[in-house]
Chain A
Amino acid sequence: MKEFIPISKAHKTPKRSLTNRKPLILLSKDSSNAMMGDVVIAMLPLLVMACYFYGTRPLMVALWSVAACKLADSVCCLIARHKLMLGDLSPMVTGLVIAMLLPASVPYYIPVAAGLFAILVVKQPFGGTGNNLFNPAAAGFAFAAVCWPQTIFRYPQPMERMEAAGPVTVRLLEGSAYTLKLGGIPSIDWQELLLGNFAGPMGATHILVMATCLIFLLARKTADWRIPLGFISVAAVFSFFFARIPTSPLNSIYFELFSGSVIFTAIYMVTDPVTAPKTGWGRFVYGGLAGLLTMLFRYYGGFEQGGMFAVLVCNALSFSLDRCFISAKESVRRVYGELVNAKK
């Protein structure tokens, strides 16, 4: 049983605040880079699957995105006269996340623009690695979605190979998330949905692969289980009770979660340790809130996908959630201590 601090000693206990806690990302150079390395490893299978479905073009998209992020990060470090850490994997993670959310047919200037926006506007002005308030990849993809919605939300059909160089000549289709937004039921069977064999973001459709990667990240303790659990459970409950398509509630959960980038958001974007809350309950509530906002953005927003916008809004709330839960915990501790004292 936990020992509760009596009121006489409460004032001697150092107050747990966010300033006393070391941010998770800054525990040590090795651990932060190890976490980034785990995320990169967890995204490589998605890149392999994308290359299997679409040819060499996804690899080029990912390379352009990563190169733009790394270059922007390095230039900012030089301007700020910081030590240039070439082994820093955080720009690589940002670049890969942006690339996985894009269609394989996207022109190369779009991932470059998204990567530059992510680093130059969202990451570096707020202090760089470990200090950013918002998820750079979510903001970069949101920027690309706002600037080029016609290009971002049209996808090639899987197994239609595209060359790395030259124009894209394959037929582009609307995604299943767009069909859901119009109130229709996507004509994809459950096997195709799980394997990612349908038109969608090049790295965000392979549900089984992502589930395996999630297990890897949880086992390595790179991702906290509370965040994806809160996210997916709230999103599932919302789609169960507020189905927007004429089908059974279970089918509604199935289509809402597995089409678009909901699962990818839950695993790779919301679990970012820098922008997520640091307290346990805070993470659970944060995940749930992100799930709810994602579904609201998908249902009522101007775009068929809303995960990236929901993540940005939740990033703004993560600090408040931490403060809220820390102060609640301390007041509960204090009250219980008083009660224990009173009983004595």
Chain B
Amino acid sequence: MSSSTQKNNLFHRFDGVLWGNPVLALGLGVPFAVIATVSMRSAAVLAAAMLCTAVPVFLVASLCARYIPQWLRAVVYSLVSAAALIPLRALLFSLFPAVFDTLGVYYALMALNPAVMIPALSHRVTGEKPGFALLNALCYSLGFALVLFGIALIREPVGSGTIWGHPVEIPFQLAPAQYPFFGFILLGYFAAVYQFLERLFVLVARKRGRFLKNSKKSRREEEKIPDSGSQKEQKKKLTWFKRNQEEQAEEQTGHNDTEGITKKQLDK
């Protein structure tokens, strides 16, 4: 594996935090981001619930999915998720008793959180090693928490004039910030900003890619590959040349290892 692909894998290992965020990029967990983010405490409770459900479900998916029939997986994951929520509720109730009145049924609905169920049912988690599944669970939970806290950080002070239950001085207050439509609009803007930043990142990455292309071009010039008309033809020739390289190297060395052999060396 070359160093660039290693780097890619490392980068994509943390999918779910920013890149591939479950709420903003994949559109999962919208009910919780919209309805239940009326305060920072409720966002914290839901983030904890997400972590406590994602970890066991993803581990079960990575370890046991091949033993569970396809049609039964959703059942198993939802029951595991619901079972994980029961002890957590007992713990969180002692810390934030009033929050559960605010959350209503949404705490229990975390058992069917699409941000956990959909990735668990997809190939993203099924068949992964347990370590990577755990990392996925942590990344998705962190990404989910970031969005929830971001929305709650706006809704709570604007809606009720408090942050984490402590009163703050706000120039204006808008009680309907606690209503669902406000949550939807805020989430829509968050997703738009996310999309804008994602596109900016891709553009910057492409420009860096162009720089790498130039260095590849200079290497090609060294290897004296004839420069003919279209890019497609060039690519075809390069592919042919690489295949030819490999075949020749096999004949010479008796095994398939052409790393570092240039055309000059083959000519020799």
- In chain B, what residue has the closest Cβ to A117? B185
Q: Is the CB of B176 within 8 A of A125?
A: no
Determine the chain B residues whose CB is within 8 A of the CB of A121 once the complex forms. Answer: 185
Check: A75 CB closer than 8 A to any chain B CB.
no
Bits for B29-70, please: 1 = Cβ < 8 Å to A, else 0.
000000000000000000000000000000000000000000
Is A147 within 8 A of B176, CB to CB? yes
Query: In the complex, which residues of chain A have a beta carbon less than 8 angstroms from the beta carbon of B175?
Result: 147
A131-171 vs B: 1/0 string, CB under 8 Å? Answer: 00000000000000011000000000000000000000000
Q: A147-B174, A147-B176 are in contact. List 7 more A-B contacts (CB 8 A).
A: A121-B185, A125-B188, A125-B192, A146-B176, A146-B179, A146-B181, A147-B175
List 8 A-B pairs, minimum CB-CB distance, nearest first.
A147-B176, A146-B176, A121-B185, A147-B174, A125-B192, A146-B179, A125-B188, A147-B175
CA of A270 to CA of B188 in the docked complex: distance in angstroms?
Answer: 26
Task: Give the shortest distance, in Å, between A157 (CB) and chain B (any CB).
Answer: 28
Tell me the minimal C-beta distance from A240 to chain B in angstroms: 34
Q: Which of B167-201 contact A (CB under 8 A)?
A: 174-176, 179, 181, 185, 188, 192
Complex A-B: 9 CB contacts under 8 Å: A121-B185, A125-B188, A125-B192, A146-B176, A146-B179, A146-B181, A147-B174, A147-B175, A147-B176
Contacts of A125 in B (CB 8 A): 188, 192
A125 to B192, CA, bound (A): 9
Query: Within 8 Å CB of A147, what residues of B?
Result: 174-176
- Interface SS majority for chain B: helix
B176 cross-chain contacts in A, Cβ below 8 A: 146-147
Q: How many residues belonging to A are interface residues under a CB distance threshold of 8 Å?
A: 4
Question: Interface range on chain B: under 10, 10 to 19, 20 to 34, or 35 or more?
Answer: under 10
Interface residues of A in 111-142 (CB under 8 A from B): 121, 125
Closest Cβ of chain A to B188, distance in Å, is 7
Cα A147 to Cα B174 with chains together (Å): 7
Contact with A along B120-156 (1 / 0, CB 8 A): 0000000000000000000000000000000000000
Nearest chain B CB to A197's CB is how many angstroms away? Answer: 33
**How distant is the Cα of A146 from the Cα of B188 in the complex, in angstroms?**
20
Q: How far is the CB of B146 from chain A (nearest CB, A)?
A: 23
Complex Cα–Cα for A147 and B178 (A):
11
| Cβ–Cβ < 8 Å partners of B181 in chain A | 146
In the assembled complex, how far is the CB of residue A204 from the closest CB belonging to chain B, in whole angstroms? 23
State in angstroms the CA–CA spacing of A125 and B174 once bound together.
22
Task: Report the Cα distance A302→B209, complex, angstroms.
Answer: 57
Query: Which single residue of chain A is at the shortest CB-CB distance from B185?
Result: A121
Q: How far is the CB of B194 from chain A (nearest CB, A)?
A: 14
Minimum Cβ distance to chain A for residue B176 (Å): 5
Question: Which of B176, B188, B192 has the most chain A CB atoms closer than 10 A to its own CB?
Answer: B176
How far, in Å, is B69 (CB) from chain A's closest CB? 40
Q: Mark A217-246, 1 if CB is under 8 A from B, else 0.
A: 000000000000000000000000000000
Question: Closest residue to A147 on the B side, CB-wise?
Answer: B176
Q: Measured between alpha carbons, how far is A146 from B185 in the docked complex, in Å?
A: 15
Residues of chain A with a CB closer than 8 A to B188's CB: 125
By a CB distance below 8 angstroms, the chain A residues around B179 are 146
Complex CA distance for A147 and B181, rounded to whole angstroms? 12
Residue of A nearest to B192 (CB): A125
Within the complex, the shortest CB–CB distance from B175 to chain A, in Å, comes to 7
- Report the minimal beta-carbon distance from A143 to chain B, rounded to whole angstroms: 8
CA gap between A147 and B182 in the complex, in Å = 11
Find chain A residues with CB under 8 A from B174 CB: 147
- Report the Cα distance A344→B100, complex, angstroms: 75
Per the bound structure, the CA–CA distance linking A147 and B177 in Å amounts to 9
Q: How far is the CA of A121 from the CA of B192 in the complex (A)?
A: 12
**B179 to chain A: closest residue by CB:** A146
Which single residue of chain A is at the shortest CB-CB distance from B181?
A: A146
CB distance from A135 to the nearest CB of B (A): 16
How far is A146 from B177 in the complex, measured between Cα atoms in Å? 10
- Bits for B19-35, please: 1 = Cβ < 8 Å to A, else 0: 00000000000000000
Residues of B contacting A146 with CB < 8 Å? 176, 179, 181
Q: Closest residue to A113 on the B side, CB-wise?
A: B174
The complex places the Cα of A146 from the Cα of B174 at a distance, in Å, of: 10
Kindly provide the distance from the CB of A138 to the nearest chain B CB, expressed in whole angstroms: 14
In whole Å, how far is B47's beta carbon from the nearest beta carbon of chain A? 27
Please, which residues of chain A bring their CB within 8 A of the CB of B192? 125
Nearest-Cβ distance from residue A215 to partner chain B, whole angstroms: 37
* Complex alpha-carbon distance, A147 and B192, angstroms: 24
- 8 A Cβ contacts from A268-318 to B: none
A147-B173 Cα distance, complex, nearest whole Å = 10
**In whole Å, how far is B193's beta carbon from the nearest beta carbon of chain A?**
12
Q: How far is the CA of A222 from the CA of B185 in the complex (A)?
A: 32
CA distance A125 to B185 in the complex (A): 11
> Chain B's nearest CB lies how many Å from the CB of A208?
36
A202 to B179, CA, bound (A): 29
How far, in angstroms, from A125 to B176 measured CA to CA in the complex?
A: 21
Chain A minimum-CB-distance residue to B172: A109
